[in-house]
């Protein structure tokens, strides 16, 4: 972390924001915007599924940085991109984090750009799950969360409420204010 500006509490911090394929991906745009307003440098990494829910241009506009989603794309200016992003990061936040993504990381898989960034990251990692309550409460998902927690990865949420599938239950992405408070707490050390 670099020098702090008291008017911008995250000034000097670099956050890599991972966005996975969940309906809650649109909320990540608000998170990116708020982090930028708080002085953080934000680099967004989107999974291919996330791009089905929200356009990369949204994050490029909000952060002022290009969006990364392809490990081997021709337009990459960081080389190798997954290592470069991991080294830039003071904190990697994945919001929303799907059951699929949590399972990949728990299994030690680096099969796409975002999972590769997480595998290469030495700075703190924060995952914010968002999924149907049946998926979240599934024993395998809970075991994966427990495994990652034991390896030092932090989690925030999910919250209970109305879900996109029409049900109510535990699985909503944590409120952006709650995620930001956790980010501030992690970066204040």
**Per-residue pLDDT band at 77 (split at 50, 70, 90):** low
CATH number (domain holding residue 54): 3.40.50.1950
More confident position, 47 or 8: 47
Phi, psi of 165 (to 5 degrees): -75, -5
Tens of pLDDT, residues 91-102: 999 999 999 999
Rounded to whole angstroms, how far apart are CA atoms 178 and 175? 5
In a domain, 1, yes or no: no
Question: Does 88 map to a domain?
Answer: yes
pLDDT of residue 71: 80
Q: Which residue range is the domain that position 58 belongs to?
A: 14-187
Comparing CA positions, the residue from 155, 109, 157, 110 lying closest to residue 133 is: 157
Q: Is the pLDDT of residue 74 over 90?
A: no
Any idea which residues carry the catalytic annotation?
Answer: 165
Mean per-residue pLDDT of the chain: 93
């Amino acid at each position: 972390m670099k020098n702090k500006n008291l008017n911008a509490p995250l000034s000097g911090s670099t956050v890599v924001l991972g966005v996975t394929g969940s309906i809650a991906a649109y909320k990540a745009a608000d998170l990116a915007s708020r982090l930028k307003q708080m002085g953080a440098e934000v680099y967004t990494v989107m999974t291919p599924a996330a791009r089905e829910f929200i356009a990369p241009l949204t994050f490029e506009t909000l952060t002022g940085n290009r969006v990364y989603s392809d490990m081997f794309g021709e337009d990459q200016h960081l080389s190798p991109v997954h290592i470069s992003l991991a080294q830039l990061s003071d904190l990697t936040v994945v919001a929303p984090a799907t059951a699929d993504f949590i399972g990949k990381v728990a299994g030690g898989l680096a099969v796409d750009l975002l999972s590769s960034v997480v595998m290469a990251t030495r700075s703190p990692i924060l995952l914010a799950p968002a999924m149907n309550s049946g998926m979240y409460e599934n024993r395998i998902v809970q075991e994966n969360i427990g495994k990652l927690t034991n390896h030092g990865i932090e989690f925030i949420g999910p919250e209970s409420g109305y879900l996109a599938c029409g049900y109510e239950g535990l699985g909503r992405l944590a409120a952006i204010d709650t995620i930001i408070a956790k980010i501030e707490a992690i970066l204040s050390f």
